[in-house]
Amino acid sequence: MAHESPETGVPLTVLAEDEQLFSASVLEFADQRIRPLVREMDEHAKMPRELVDELFSLGVMGIEIPEAFGGAGASFFHSVLAVEALSQVDPSVGLLVDVQNTLVSNALLRWGTAELKDRYLPALATRSVGAYALSEAGSGSDAFAMATRATARDGGFLINGQKLWITNGNEADIFIAFANVNPEAGYRGITAFVVERGAAGFTVGEKEDKLGIRASSTCELLFEDCFVPALQVLGEVGKGYKVAIETLNEGRIGIGAQMIGAARGALQHAVAYTKERKQFGKALSDFQAVQFQLAQAATELEAARLLVYNAARLRDARKPFLREAAMCKLFSSQVAEHVTSLAVQLYGGYGYVKDYPVEKLFRDAKIGQIYEGTSNMQLQTIAKLLLG
């Protein structure tokens, strides 16, 4: 019989001992250091730099980065556990860590030259936040219909264009940005570049005022004759579409982890509240209708968690995981919306006000069906693989 970890509620048969300890330590940090800041960060739509520095000290900003570069040298699965635990308290913080690990660091680890790794991985592991700049006003789901251009110049490229919806834009010092060097070639002209904050011609623009995950900055980026040396190309010229596709496949697992974290946080609040709240002379949790709703939510959450974990394990084992990544993101985002909505419902009027945490988790959950590939895009991927 499988027993649950008292710290995480995750069946011990699912996690190895080091994974149990890691998940529990991240959750303890989130409870002690993040939970007191959640309301303020949401209201002011800002994450304190002191908290970001603590995340670096905790070691969750460079989980897969080898120890030789100052990172933890751990697995992708550890990144997933960190994002889940942090998102249980605040999905905004989970997202910051997710983008840092599953998108930015992963892209550099896989596609970066020795020079790029030497230059950027130590910074990403210890002090510098990263951002991943792909989306534009006219290229969301159709990600490769980008208008940003890169023109060859002596020793490098001049980039011109605008990016939108860029997570970590306010905090980041290192940006992986995509531009097309040969529009006539279509997506085969897309190239990935590493751009530093402060580069001439590069500006971090307006920050979006969002429904949820408000402490996570979402910004526009402006490139006006921004010169990027040829050494800053990530991967090969014209092969940026491969960098984008393969990195985003991993990133979707991270978003799945964020969603199951948000759902787990909401479910825990709902369970505790229904035990305390009394109506008609007894606790809400004594009513069978409430019990069944909680049981259904718990079952869906466990299924979503196992989908996410399976996709992460396949990725670490270097086995195909495209279908599993799409499935886990699709289902976990649906479950997160359902479970957080149920939590608000069970809280009644209290669930609709900001004094209680479930209202925020409900707002935070909606984005899971939108970014890093909408639910319709995930369905399309699953259907293509299913039908051959």
Q: Identify the CATH class of 17-129.
A: mainly alpha
Contact 253, 315 (CB under 8 A): yes
Question: What is the number of other CB atoms lying within 10 angstroms of the CB of residue 55?
Answer: 22
Q: Which position has the token pair 């930015």?
A: 104
Residues 6+ positions from 105 with CB-CB distance below 8 Å: 62, 63, 64, 65, 71, 121, 124, 125, 130
Q: How confident is the model at residue 2 (pLDDT cuts 50, 70, 90)?
A: very low
Average pLDDT, integer, range 42-49 = 98
Q: What confidence score (pLDDT) does residue 269 get?
A: 98
67 is catalytic: no
Percent with pLDDT over 70 in the chain: 97
- List, by residue range, all CATH 1.10.540.10 domains of the chain: 17-129
Q: How confident is the model at residue 6 (pLDDT cuts 50, 70, 90)?
A: very low
Average pLDDT, integer, range 260-271 = 98
Kindly state which CATH superfamily the domain 131-236 is placed in: Butyryl-CoA Dehydrogenase, subunit A, domain 2 (2.40.110.10)
**Model confidence at 38: pLDDT above 90:** yes
What would the CATH number be for the domain defined by 242-387? Answer: 1.20.140.10
- List, by residue range, all CATH 1.20.140.10 domains of the chain: 242-387
List 191's β-bridge partners, or say none. 179
Q: What confidence score (pLDDT) does residue 241 get?
A: 96
pLDDT tens, residue by residue, 296-326: 999 999 999 999 999 999 999 999 999 999 9
pTM (two decimals): 0.95
pLDDT tens, residue by residue, 201-219: 999 999 999 999 999 999 9
pLDDT tens, residue by residue, 78-128: 999 999 999 999 999 999 999 999 999 999 999 999 999 999 999 999 999
Contact 239, 191 (CB under 8 A): yes
Catalytic one of 84, 220, 324, 372: 372
Average pLDDT of the residues of the chain: 96
Question: What is the number of other CB atoms lying within 10 angstroms of the CB of residue 198?
Answer: 7
Expressed in angstroms, the distance from the first to the final Cα of the chain is 39
- List, by residue range, all CATH 2.40.110.10 domains of the chain: 131-236
